[in-house]
Chain A
């Protein structure tokens, strides 16, 4: 189909508007992180820094709390990802493979649980974790993140398991492989992309998460990166925007790397989960 030049022109104008709306804030954040403190204070801010100044990054990295927050976030995200995968893989397998009346019930639950406001998740967990002395600890947050990401991980993984041809498993069992052997040597390798996608999704959810961490972690030693960043903003007037912008850029890098890597798989995983669930 041919598009008239005038229409085409308008289309490009529209796309450029979109790109400005979506891209300008990012550009501004990055450029702010590269401005010297003096340029930052200038009354007429410019989009591009006059000369690149990396002192904001060194300042941010010299900030004790920030490095610690980075470490805490990394630990928590990693542990909760591993835990979610270990717990959800067998469940997802059972949901995708066994025809049982429990399947629609469980899938119904997965959907319903997505509607729950986090306040209804955090209060009971808080009351369960407190007598166990797990509030204000890293294992406590890891458990909460697992509860929170489990339904979605199940939803995603189920779609991936269903996409593995059943015939392969039947062939393996004809050859005398038991259920476990079949899972380990036939299903797992084929599931790798799905496992990676689910792992990344869980990792990033934990890395970006703010609410649960805010509620559960009071000890400054344990605060995650989003909490540390949010505290920077809190003290209005005292804010050093340059280092804050630099730290924000640093906090976004892992998510961006993962999403760039994962973008196609994630959308297809979402869709296959939706269609085949």
Chain B
């Protein structure tokens, strides 16, 4: 019976192999070649050449550093704000439904539209953010948030939080609503306050959900492209040049497919290592 079933699965899996496994493995392999964009160019296996070149490519590591700052700040802040909002929505408040629906909108919007919208908001001459800051006398001159060296990355991070927070909130909220009410009742009988209930019941019970959503957020943020491409295109002066944008330029502006694939390989390795340590520590502390 088991043999019959294994065989029955094989034809169903053929499309997965053709359309998912093969291209992705091919992508990894290209990082070890000198593939170029031209039409009739030969592709040769070059071993670790691309990677040794990358080691000495300061610009790539700059973009890597920016990518790590971006990923960690967006993921952590997203989580903190989302946890706060989810806790609020989990109480018996009014307009909870409104808030929940509103929370989903940013997630549903095309990233390009989100970027356009924030460019309107942060516009130095007729954007409302500058208007408000000036009215409150927090600044005496309009700030070019996306064009200034010191503000570009923080501004882009704020937009990243705005986009990803809703999804995180909804997931955390779903997790909170799955927690057994009687745990809180028992804790209340024992005299535990709201704060201690949060620490001793909510957080431990939410653990799996938290690990799952923060891991996903981390992957999504590290690999994000469209939002920042339209917001700043990596500028000013490469201050927001995420690794994905860097690899995109390498591949489709300069035509170095092999080198760009090698950058992709490095990104995969880093994120897998990161997730490995993150998940291992989390899962171990559970045991």
Q: Interface residues, chain A, CB within 8 Å of chain B?
A: 1, 3, 11-12, 14-15, 18-19, 21-23, 25-26, 28-29, 32, 40-45, 47, 87, 90-91, 93-95, 98-103, 106, 109, 113-128, 130, 143, 146-147, 150-151, 154, 204, 207-211, 214-215, 225-226, 229-230, 232-233, 241, 244-245, 248, 251-252, 255-256, 258-260, 263, 267-268, 270-271, 274
Contact = CB atoms under 8 A, between A and B. Distances in A.
A122 B263 CA distance: 13
Contacts of A29: 113, 117, 120
A117 B268 contact: yes
Interface of B: 2, 5-6, 8-10, 12-13, 15-16, 19-21, 23-24, 26-28, 30, 35, 39, 81, 84-85, 88-89, 91, 93, 95, 98-99, 101-113, 115-121, 123, 125-128, 131, 162, 165-166, 170-171, 174, 184, 188, 212, 216, 219, 222-223, 225-226, 229-230, 243-244, 247-248, 251-252, 257, 260-261, 263-265, 267-268, 271-272, 275
Contacts of A41: 126
A270 B101 CA distance: 17
Given A14-B84, A109-B16, 6 more contacts: A120-B28, A120-B264, A226-B226, A230-B230, A248-B117, A268-B174
Given A29-B117, A251-B110, A274-B212, A210 B225 contact: yes
B88 A267 contact: no
B235 to A, nearest CB: 11
A210 B226 contact: yes
Nearest to A263: B104
Given A1-B188, A93-B12, A208-B111, A22 B5 contact: no
Nearest to A40: B126
Contacts of B268: 115-117, 120
Contact of B244 (A15, A117, A245): A117
B22 to A, nearest CB: 8
A229 B113 contact: yes
B108 A124 contact: no
Contacts of B116: 229, 232-233, 244-245, 248
Contacts of A40: 126
Contacts of A267: 170-171, 174
Nearest to A89: B12
Contact of A11 (B23, B88, B222): B88
B117 A98 contact: no
Contact of B128 (A45, A109, A113, A208): A45
Nearest to A23: B102
A130 B91 contact: no
Contacts of A258: 108
Contact of B251 (A32, A123, A146, A210): A123
A207 B110 contact: yes
